[in-house]
Chain A
Amino acid sequence: MSFLLPETGLLFWMLISFGIVFFILRKYGFPVITSMIDERKKFIDDALLNAKAANEKLASVEEQSRKILENANAEQVRILREAVAVRENIIKEAQEKAEVESGRIIAVAREQINQEKEEALRDIRAQVAELSISIAEKVIRKELADNKERDNYMNTLIDEAFSTDKSQE
């Protein structure tokens, strides 16, 4: 039966040594280990969550960039189309303006030419008149002797003058 009776001495030493072991391990041993394991567990969980969030973020960023690219493409097409329209517009306007300007310049030039022509004609007429007067003076001085011939000649001249006036009008 001595097996079933706890020895006082052994009980005493066992309680003391187990107590010491317990206090040392409680202070320096197990809490360090368990808290670190818990921390690592938390770290891994956090890392998994972060990775998931990062993946989601990445997906959304990709989506965004895709959208931005699409928008940019559309914008580019629109701008190009506008540019083409503007260019064509400008060219058309320039052409129209040039046509108007050239028409105007031509009209001015024509008027000037007409005026100059008029002036030249007036000069010529004046000179012709002077010449014809001087010629007439000379003819009169020469032909005064012969009245008859002079009358004929005068008539002829007047007729001619009339006919030239008529043809000119």
Chain B
Amino acid sequence: MKGVRYIFVLFLLLLSGYAGAAEKSSAPEKVDVKKIIFEHVKDTYEWHITTVGEKHVSISLPVILYSSRTGWELFSSSVFHEEDNYKGFYISYLGDNEGKIVELDENGAERRPLLDLSITKTVLSVFVNALLLIVIVLCTARWYRHHKPENGAPRGFVGIMEVLITMVVDDIIKPNVGKNYKKYTPYLLTAFFFIFLSNLMGLLPIFPGGANVTGNIAVTFALALCTFIAVNFFGNKEYYKEIFWPDVPSFLKVPVPMMPLIELFGVFVKPFALTIRLFANILAGHTVILAFVCIIFITMSVSTYIGTAMTFVSVVFTIFMNVLEFLVAFIQAFVFTMLSSVFIGLSQPEHHDSKH
């Protein structure tokens, strides 16, 4: 108990020291919370890790572009440290393309290059998470390869993985997908662990983590697209019959195909529900945590005393939010997997279901 108190006091001292330093540098300018938060949750062309004094510590990432003007271009994002404009490409600071690489077209208007396949912060984060996931799962699978059923259940990390896998398979996949669940299990497990791992990595404050991966709509959209493919490409005959010729009174579908249109609309709404839910939850979580951290800097710019007091409050709230986000990280992975399972299950209706 005593030790905890000492650590706590030391922690507060350190924080107030940092806060003081922050105040010194940012005193003349107003703290722009919106900008700070957006810079953290948005995708960037370099991975800013920290700033020591005046020096920015960041990882420069490769930029890959295809422009109708120059063709394929591959260069490091560090070129923008030296000069603002490289071969006519620059990072926009205003407007719709803020923070993105743009070029000027013939009329002098800003436009995005035709293709921008740059390895951005989020892309690198996706790679790191993907690699980590492969390593984790293959290590777990290795244990299973080297053991027989008679050897009993695993312990330690493999045991945790087994608990999670059994939970996902028995509680989410089996009851929702139905009797064909074995075909979809690898996809749903991959989705669950990818989202869960990305969410957790997003909660880590430093380098390999901290990126807003699942809070980016492109990532969640890609995941939803996979579910969409799983649902619609492997749906059975009954499923398509229910969309284009549902069991409703004929006047609802013969002159004007109202119900089929609604059903078809539903087919495309489902992946959007998946996309927005995951994206919004994680983005909101990141934003709230960052906002609580920003309270320190806002109040510090008002008064050092209030700032110091608020530091304590802010740290408590940030810890609370981090714990909450840990829960959300799991719940969102769970919900995404469950909804995907439900949608897949709906695409495999039993024959007798359509006859009642």
Contact = CB atoms under 8 A, between A and B. Distances in A.
Interface string A5-28: 111111111110110111011101
A164 to B, nearest CB: 122
Given A2-B96, A7-B218, A33-B165, A25 B226 contact: no
5 contacts: A9-B117, A25-B190, A29-B140, A31-B186, A34-B169
A22 B187 contact: yes
A37 B140 CA distance: 12
Interface residues of A, number: 36
Given A8-B115, A24-B138, A34-B169, 19 more contacts: A2-B98, A2-B100, A3-B217, A9-B64, A9-B117, A9-B118, A10-B219, A14-B123, A14-B126, A15-B222, A24-B134, A25-B134, A26-B186, A28-B141, A29-B134, A33-B161, A37-B165, A37-B169, A42-B149
B335 interface: no
Q: Which of A4, A8, A18, A33 lies at the interface centre, i.e. has the most chain B CB atoms within 10 A of its CB?
A: A33
A32 interface: yes
B216 interface: yes
Interface string B32-51: 00000000001100000000
Contact of B127 (A17, A24, A32): A17
Nearest to A42: B149
A20 B258 CA distance: 40
Given A18-B194, A36-B144, A40-B149, A25 B137 contact: yes
A12 B115 CA distance: 10
B218 A11 contact: yes
A133 B149 CA distance: 132
For the complex, would chain B's binding face be called helix, strand, loop or mixed by DSSP majority?
Answer: helix
A93 to B, nearest CB: 71
B43 A3 contact: no
Contacts of B166: 37
Contact of A29 (B96, B99, B138, B153): B138
A10 B190 contact: no
B186 A30 contact: yes
Interface string B103-120: 000000000000111111
A10 B186 contact: no
B153 A25 contact: no
A6 B115 contact: no
Interface residues of B, number: 52
Interface of B: 42-43, 64, 96-100, 115-120, 122-123, 126-127, 130, 133-134, 137-138, 140-141, 144-145, 147, 149-150, 153, 161-162, 165-166, 169, 185-187, 189-190, 194, 216-219, 221-223, 225-226, 283
A8 to B, nearest CB: 7
A1 interface: yes
A39 interface: yes
A29 B141 contact: yes
B229 to A, nearest CB: 10
A34 B127 CA distance: 25
A25 B137 CA distance: 7
A76 B315 CA distance: 91
Contacts of A8: 115-117
Contact of A43 (B98, B149, B190): B149
Q: Which of A7, A22, A37, A39 lies at the interface centre, i.e. has the most chain B CB atoms within 10 A of its CB?
A: A7
B165 A30 contact: yes
A4 B222 CA distance: 13
Contact of A39 (B130, B149, B216): B149
Contacts of A1: 96
B43 A7 contact: yes
B165 A10 contact: no
B46 to A, nearest CB: 15
Contacts of A6: 217-218, 221-222
A43 B150 contact: yes
A24 B273 CA distance: 28
Nearest to B187: A22
Given A10-B216, A21-B133, A40 B223 contact: no
A149 B34 CA distance: 199
A50 B336 CA distance: 41
Contacts of B165: 30, 33-34, 37
Contacts of B150: 43
A21 B186 contact: no
Nearest to B124: A13
